[in-house]
Amino acid sequence: MSIWNKRRKEKRQNIPHIKMKNNQHRELNGKLEDTIYFIKEILGSNDDFVIRRFSIYGAHSAAICYFSNLVEQQTINYEVLKPLMKMPEYIDKDKLKNDRILKVLAEEVLYHGEIKEESNLGKLIDAVLAGETILVIDGVTNAFHLDTYYVEKRAIAPPETEQVIIGPREGFIERLGTNLGLLRYRLPTADFRVKTLKVGRLTKSKVAICYLDGIADQALVDEVESRLKKIDIDAVLDVGYLEQYIEDNHYTPFTQTLLTERPDSTVGNLIEGRVAILVDGSPFTMLVPAVFNQFYQATEDYSTRFIMGSFTRFIRMFALVFSLVFPALYVSFISFNPELLPTEFAVAVAGGRAGVPYSAVIEVLILEGSMEILREATVRLPKQIGNALSIVGVLIIGQAAVQAGLSSPITVVVIAITTIGSFATPVYNASFALRALRFPLAILAGIFGLYGVMVGLIVILNHMLSLKSFGVPYLSPTSPWNAQGMKDSVIRFPFWKMSFRPVMFHSTNKIRENTSKSSRTTQRQPLSSQPNKDKRDD
């Protein structure tokens, strides 16, 4: 027998018999020392794990167990230990028998809002790991676990990835309870539902499924819950982990879920019939189903008048398409179809590229790659250094490349305008698809010219037509066509023109506005024509 196998055998023999059994189904036997021994074997090697022994009114030996870094010590001192060690005058000692003591403590003694009774040792261990405090009493086969969880959290601040000029400034934080509170604050209705489950064998991350009962399709809610329950992974540290498991198509650059850190945006999507998924420890909410037209829409569109909202939304849509095809069109015009350019402009471009030693497609690919490297470096650096780097990269490096003959001035302008256009996309993870697809489109343009650009765009469009997000076509409501859905597409219609929820989500309650009682339909007289009630007769 090898030394390694011998050590493993000795290690297995040294494990106490109590750990070799299935801990998930082990029950309390009423002996305090056995329970403490079991808990120590599982958790006792941690320096921040506390087992506090004491006596309940001098008659019952007891102990509380908790992790000191996961609880609020003041709550334990004043809401648990103090009432248990100092007997109130109204308590009759005859009531404190083993068969009734838990009921008396829960109803008359403990000053705590959330008390649960449990006899399973495995579940008690899970409660301690989740930041709760367990109370074990000698001679009692059940134990209490009290919610004393407390971890320092950052303050609610404006979201970093979704800036707006007009609209709320609150953003989600890492605490799931705080995020759910922000949603309930904006949805004070009994129809708001929250289902929780734990995902991750090691992290046991708490995942919340939020929806509006009577609006969200129940089949959609069941499908989301089913996909989440099928996930079997060691750790879930962010909502992005779940996205990679529950999306319909894994081999596409287009995201099929919408990530947001804005409570108002989440509530707006819930009202339309979507389902929100939140993870404890993540400041982002995942919204499903997601369609393509969401990725050029912003919360600010609904906070402003519909004319202004429609104009800015159209600008974003134009910038999105422009940033995708502009480099490829430039390459095709320079390499294959210079006759499509005005004569003066074509001469100027040819003069600017006179000293460049490689073709236009190679030049565009080099500058695009350099811009992506610069963008990634700017994101990873601290904010103060990142701002300085972006200015240096745009001004100095671009000018130096032109003077060194590595690039032409017009190519630098094209790449700069393309990059600025990609920044107009409100959803960060949606802009990745545009950034990734610019490279193959430019290569096709360098090989086949305009024909290659058109073939590439047709392939991209055909791929988008084949995508679905939880059964909803990705290009809805454009394909399949829905006139009601198009009222909140590229152009945003007034609210009183959008009386129905999007058909693609199959909402139970399809009516969003009661037009018969709408204030818009009420005819009002101008102020100048209203009688002056304050006028008095002479």
Element holding 137 (H helix, E strand): strand 133-137
Tokens, residue 247: 């999306």
Query: What does the block give as tokens for 516?
Result: 């018969």
Distance in angstroms (rounded) separating the CA atoms of residues 216 and 277: 14
Q: Is the pLDDT of residue 472 over 50?
A: yes
What DSSP state is assigned to residue 511?
A: B
**Dihedral pair phi/psi, residue 495, rounded to 5°:** -60, -35
Task: Answer whether residue 229 shows pLDDT above 90.
Answer: yes
Bond preceding residue 480 cis, omega within 30 of 0:
yes
Q: How many helices (H) and strands (E) in the chain?
A: 20, 12
Query: At 395, is the pLDDT very low, low, confident or very high (cuts 50, 70, 90)?
Result: low
Q: Which pLDDT score is estimated for 11?
A: 44
Secondary structure string (H, E, C) spanning 192-238: EEEEEEEECCCCCEEEEEEEECCCCCHHHHHHHHHHHHCCCCCCCCC
pLDDT for residue 285 = 94
Query: Dihedral angle at the C-alpha atoms of 15, 201, 197, 69, nearest 10 degrees?
Result: 70
Minimal CA–CA distance to 484: which of 497, 473, 474, 472?
Answer: 497
- As a 3-state breakdown, the chain gives helix, strand, coil percent values, each rounded to 5, of 50, 15, 35
Domain ranges of the chain: 3-146, 176-290, 305-473
Check residue 520 and give its pLDDT: 52
* pLDDT tens digits for range 247-260: 999 999 999 999 99
> How far is 421 from 223, CA to CA, in rounded Å?
37
Q: Which two tokens stand for residue 48?
A: 């921040």
Q: Two tokens at 318?
A: 């134009």
Q: What are phi and psi of 376, to 5 degrees?
A: -65, -40
Cβ(301)–Cβ(307) below 8 Å: no
pLDDT grade for 23, boundaries at 50, 70 and 90: low
In the numeric block, which tokens belong to residue 147?
């919610």
Q: Give residue 94's pLDDT.
A: 66
Residue 357: CB atoms within 10 A of its CB come to 8
Residue range 144-177, pLDDT digits in tens: 899 888 888 888 888 888 888 888 888 999 999 9
Nearest to 341 by CA among 399, 405, 410, 437: 410
3-state secondary structure of 442: helix
Report the distance separating Cα 207 and Cα 225, nearest Å: 10
Q: What b/e sequence results for 157-173 when a residue is b if at least 16 CB atoms lie within 10 Å of its CB, and e otherwise?
A: eebeebebeebbebbbb
pLDDT at 393: 66
Q: Are 139 and 158 in contact (CB under 8 A)?
A: no
Q: Which residues contact 351 (CB under 8 A, 6 or more apart)?
A: none
Query: Which positions ≥6 away from 417 have C-beta within 8 Å?
Result: 326
Residue 206 predicted with pLDDT over 60: yes
Instruction: Quote the CA–CA distance of 250 and 233 in Å, as a whole number.
Output: 17
H helices of 423-518, where? Answer: 428-448, 450-466
pLDDT in tens, 28-65: 888 888 888 888 888 877 888 999 999 888 778 899 99
Amino acid at 538: D
What are φ and ψ of residue 193, in 5° steps? -115, 145
pLDDT per residue over 399-428, tens digit each?
777 887 788 888 888 888 888 888 888 888
